[in-house]
Amino acid sequence: MRGTIRNNTSPPAKHALFDRDTAPGAAPEQLMRAAIPAFIVPGHDAAHATSAARYLEECLPQSNYWDVAVDAQTEAAVNSRVLEFLRGAAVTTE
């Protein structure tokens, strides 16, 4: 039928891909063990929920959440903030 979308994913495969209410990928326990700095910028549209950014902030121990409205995420503001994060996250070897 034209305009009909069929779901050919078997129930077991679907449950393996979407096994939690959060985004697919690493489990919360895995994220909590990540020992890397993370810069988190919230979104607010159909593909980027603010709640997803907050979830990552809670799970990643070295997260740096930038609490800024999407409208304020201008090129100048983002560039400045990313550079600030990278300078703070830089690893020095001696």
What six digits make up the tokens of 66? 């930038």
pTM: 0.70
User: Which long-range contacts link 49-58 to residues 24+ away (Cβ below 8 Å)?
Assistant: 52/22, 52/23, 55/22, 55/23, 56/31
Name 49's Cβ contacts closer than 8 Å, sequence gap at least 6: 43
Nearest CA to 50 out of 38, 35, 65 is that of 65
List residues bridging with 39 in a β-sheet: 64
pLDDT the model gives residue 12? 62
pLDDT for 57: 95
- The pLDDT of residue 90: 75
Q: For the chain (length 94 residues), average pLDDT per consecutive 10? A: 57 62 81 94 87 93 94 95 91 59
